[in-house]
Amino acid sequence: MYLRLLIFVVGFVITYGAQGATIHLKSEATPRGAIVYLGDVADIAADSAREAERMESIELMPSPAGNAVRYLQATQVQELLDARGFDLRTIRLGGASQVKLVSPASGARDAPQASSYEQRRAERMANDAIRRHLTQSAAASQAWQIDVQLSPADAARIVRTAGSLTASGGARPYTGGQSFQLHWQGSEREESLDVLADVSLPASVVTATRPIPRGTLIRADDLVLQPAPQTRTEQVLQAAYLNIEDAVGKEAVRNIAAGQPLDAQNARSPILVKQNDVVTVYSRAGGVSVRTHGRARQSGSQGELITIETFDRKPFFARVSGHQEVEVLATATTLAPSAPR
């Protein structure tokens, strides 16, 4: 009984701890602001981005003054976290045993500089504002990928004076290098900042909006463009339809599930000629059309080149032109029968 209880307690502690945060202390850090934040001296992984951001914003101490150098011990970090109400059993502390804190250059302190935490927060704020602007401007909810770079001074200006940001600018199709303007209400007046950002969209593929049974002719309202799956992205892009127009009118050759990308393996042009069908053969040249009949040795869709044979079994190539109809040029070459094996 005691052993079972011990196993349960150990398992509970391990599981509970796994749900906490990992703090990896750096060996050296240069705070950019007057305050040293936990995000300045450590890389933090938590259960959620919000929890990681909350921990990054923890104030530890004032930055070293002048050209002074200070050292922050790992035990001090533990004590500061404990004093702020964090359960140390849920926090895994690793990395360096102490952090060397180097004062910023005196010239850099003349203008406010963002800390590492403030830099990341300002860039997230800018990315979110640009994403909202693009969603409204493009009149569509897209998975915009935005990378905006802010100088430490601009990041400090945003974090310390802006409650929320809005954005304007950019040019259609809104991808590639783009110029935007960020706007916010400062303490005394409206502020703005010109920024450059790299904007992209994940590759999209044609996807079924609902289950499509085998044999169904596919319509536009059966389809939607969605980002390609994160796994096997390259293979999916090589095979899948990338434009809805290319997939409309195709026939499902197997059952297609809702959310499944469409490709040549599950959707193709409808079969107009089936193997062994008796087909009408048209031969056109110089405005003259000759019609005869033959038998299809292969199945084929619109525009595909298949083998037809005459009723005396002479094979030739013809292109599918309609339902049980094929067309050959007057100069089409008759194939010699294959030698028996």
Q: Which of 78, 110, 142 is the last residue of a domain?
A: 110
The tally of domains found in the chain comes to: 4
121 and 106: one domain? Answer: no
Q: Does residue 134 have a pLDDT over 70? A: yes
Q: Which residues have CB under 8 Å from 26's CB, separation 6+?
A: 41, 42, 43, 95, 96, 99
Q: Does residue 257 or residue 115 have the better pLDDT?
A: 257
What predicted TM-score, i.e. pTM, was given to this entire model? 0.44
What CATH number is associated with residue 21? 2.60.480.10
CA 44 to chain centroid:
23
Q: For the residues 134-150, what does the mean pLDDT come to?
A: 81
Last residue of a domain, one of 145, 166, 200: 200
Q: Which residue among 268, 284, 309 closes a domain?
A: 268
Question: Per the domain annotation, does 339 fall within a domain?
Answer: no
% of the chain with per-residue pLDDT over 70: 84
Per-residue model confidence as pLDDT tens digits over 41-70:
998 888 887 788 888 888 888 888 777 788
Average pLDDT over all residues of the chain: 82
**Segment 227-245, tens digit of pLDDT:** 777 666 666 677 888 889 8
Distance CA 41, CA 30 (A): 8
Tokens of 80: 């500061």
- The DSSP 8-state label assigned to residue 138 in this structure reads T
pLDDT band at residue 105 using 50, 70 and 90 as cut-offs: low
pLDDT band at 109 (very low <50, low <70, confident <90, very high): very low
Query: Would the pLDDT of 99 be above 50?
Result: yes
**With 60 as the cut, is the pLDDT of residue 142 above it?**
yes
